[in-house]
Amino acid sequence: MLKNPISRRHFLGAAVASTVTASAANGANGANPRVETGLPTRILGGTGERVSMLALGCGSRLLMYEEEDKGVEVLDMALKAGITYLDTAQGYGNGKSESWVGQAIKGRRKGLFLATKTGARTADDVLRRAEESLKRLGVDQMDLLHIHSLGGPEDLAVIEKEGVMEALHKVKERGLARYIGITSHSDPETLAKALARYDVDCTQMALNAALQGMKSGPGKMVINPVMPASFENLALPVAKKKNLGIIAMKAFGQDDIIGEDATPEKLLRYALSLPVSIVTMGVPKHEHLRQNLATARNFTPMPPDEMKEFSHRTAARYKMALDRKFSVHIDA
């Protein structure tokens, strides 16, 4: 059972690796620190685009600021800190998030990667809503348009029947978006099938230590025979094989799993140690942004044995509850 979210501890004063050591490790991990900010960047799969390895999630966590000027303030802080990837969606606040992003990026479009998502489930709606997104963002072209929140087999059947994938490709062909993708936080098997079946550039999926879903522990001991599989085990290998730009989300389980045994620093380090280009973070408090930036700037990959032990422990405690939560989760 998930516990109530608790306040994060302040990790900025904790002992961390030196900047020189962290920079060397990031280089070995395919990341290059930005000269101005020290925030590492990575290549976004086959797109070849270089983006900050942390993205600002502009969903419910950003909308918690309620007022536009406060939301734009956080966006401005992230951009000045070296964040180049902004993750929004048409459904976040019924367009409010896209409008806030549009305000924050006025006069600073160059060098930014704008990703939004469409909840449309008909071809006509995909095209119409894409135009509406561009107006709210205040740009002529977005960098990435995802199908938002792919559900189970029934949802994929609707997408296929209504020509949604074909419409997504039209968005790309018409220059409204440079790249296209699919996101999911509830059904690893269906996402894996969609990624294998369709030609997309990127994907975004729920990845954290508590959702890894490994069924066997040391000595092949079964931890939980009914524990559902995870994005890490099913969808991530498909995306990696196709060299897609992979974006991790829900790295902190929306703060539901943060505690003594799963600190924000360790959860973020685990996610960044996966074969992903980006980890998307929600920052309902300014201190969360500062903490996550500090972790990223001093990032060193978590050793495989440590990842395995950490994921076994946190999955055994939290995975089933998180699966239930995200099965009905709507980040709007």
**Residues taking part in catalysis:** 92
Cβ(143)–Cβ(178) below 8 Å: yes
What kind and span of H or E run contains 178? Answer: strand 177-184
Catalogue the long-range contacts made by 1-6 (C-beta closer than 8 Å, 24 or more residues apart): 1/321, 2/253, 2/256, 2/257, 2/318, 2/321, 2/322, 2/325, 3/256, 3/259, 5/254, 5/255, 5/256, 5/258, 6/255, 6/258, 6/259
Q: How far from each other are the two terminal CA atoms of the chain, in whole angstroms?
A: 24
Residues in the chain: 332
For β-strands 40-43 and 32-33, DSSP reports them as antiparallel
Lookup: tokens for 87: 């993750």
**What CA–CA distance (Å, rounded) separates 310 from 314?**
6
Cα gap 75→55, rounded to integer Å: 11
Residue 200: phi, psi to the nearest 5? -125, 170
Separation of alpha carbons 322 and 251, rounded Å:
12
Biggest distance spanned by C-alpha atoms of the chain: 57
